[in-house]
A and B are shown apart, each in its own frame.
Chain A
Amino acid sequence: ETGVTQSPTHLIKTRGQQVTLRCSSQSGHNTVSWYQQALGQGPQFIFQYYREEENGRGNFPPRFSGLQFPNYSSELNVNALELDDSALYLCASRSEARLGSYNEQFFGPGTRLTVL
């Protein structure tokens, strides 16, 4: 059983550019969440995808968008990059919880984005 993987590990972009980050969920998981972690802060929820649809979103502008594919892998796209978008982006996968239960989220290693 492989864990959550993310690519790339690091990347550098300039202000105004667009970026795509990728995540492969853990085997058997059908739900993917994305988090932004600024330096010295805890992770902040961006959005969640289940069965290829967004089903929860945090306080992030529309220029943050995502996709989930039939194999449950996911992409995070950020348009019109700003300096404040520099952060570690974490992907987490889990199985959609049954009613009344919680299924643990498993985190990937993250992608470090630097916007210059």
Chain B
Amino acid sequence: AQRVTQPEKLLSVFKGAPVELKCNYSYSGSPELFWYVQYSRQRLQLLLRHISRESIKGFTADLNKGETSFHLKKPFAQEEDSAMYYCALSGHAGGTSYGKLTFGQGTILTVHP
């Protein structure tokens, strides 16, 4: 079974402080991990995925298979980072990527000025 856990529902930091949003997963195969973000009054959108190993808006996330974690980090938070963040997992079915995403419950990040 696939499961994604985000232990913090709420996270508050001050502008310029480092931020880390935690995500742990459970999956027996080789998962693909993602972070999705939802800004106020906007639709859910992809922030980054572990395969691309890129930094988006200063955010990075490293897949740690030993700890089954995929924490999202940013060294200096900005006010515009305030949003709902979801960690998600996609499992493979056969040889192709399978579209089912399993989401965590989400973490509301608030960055104070």
On A, residues with C-beta under 8 Å from B are 4, 31, 33, 35, 40-45, 48, 56, 58, 90, 92, 94, 96-110
Q: How close is A87's CB to chain B, nearest CB, in angstroms?
A: 13
Is B56 on the interface with A (CB-CB < 8 A)? no
- Residue in B51, B95, B99 whose CB lies within 8 Å of A48: B99
Q: Is the CB of A105 within 8 A of B99?
A: yes
Q: Which of B85-112 contact A (CB under 8 A)?
A: 86, 88, 90, 93, 95-106
**Which single residue of chain B is at the shortest CB-CB distance from A109?**
B43
- Residue in B90, B102, B105 whose CB lies within 8 Å of A41: B105
For the complex, give the distance between the alpha carbons of A108 and B46 in Å. 12
A to B contact number (C-beta, < 8 Å): 64
Q: Looking at chain B's contact residues, is the secondary structure mostly helix, strand, loop, or mixed? A: strand
- Residue in B43, B90, B103 whose CB lies within 8 Å of A42: B103
Q: Is the CB of B105 within 8 A of A96?
A: no
**Which single residue of chain B is at the shortest CB-CB distance from A31?**
B99
Q: Is the CB of A99 within 8 A of B96?
A: yes
Q: Within 8 Å CB of B104, what residues of A? A: 42
Q: How close is B85's CB to chain A, nearest CB, in angstroms?
A: 10
Is B74 on the interface with A (CB-CB < 8 A)? no
What 0/1 pattern do residues 1 to 33 of B give for CB contact below 8 A with A?
Answer: 000101000000000000000000000000010
- Residue in B43, B97, B102 whose CB lies within 8 Å of A101: B97
Other than A31-B99, A107-B44, give 19 A-B pairs with Cβ distance below 8 A.
Answer: A4-B43, A33-B100, A35-B101, A41-B105, A41-B106, A42-B106, A43-B101, A45-B100, A45-B102, A56-B99, A90-B44, A92-B101, A96-B96, A97-B97, A97-B99, A99-B95, A105-B46, A109-B43, A110-B43
On B, residues with C-beta under 8 Å from A are 4, 6, 32, 43-46, 49, 51, 86, 88, 90, 93, 95-106
Q: Given the known inter-chain contacts A42-B86, A42-B106, please indicate yes or no for A103 contacting B100, CB distance below 8 A.
A: no
**Which single residue of chain A is at the shortest CB-CB distance from B98?**
A56
Q: How close is A76's CB to chain B, nearest CB, in angstroms?
A: 15
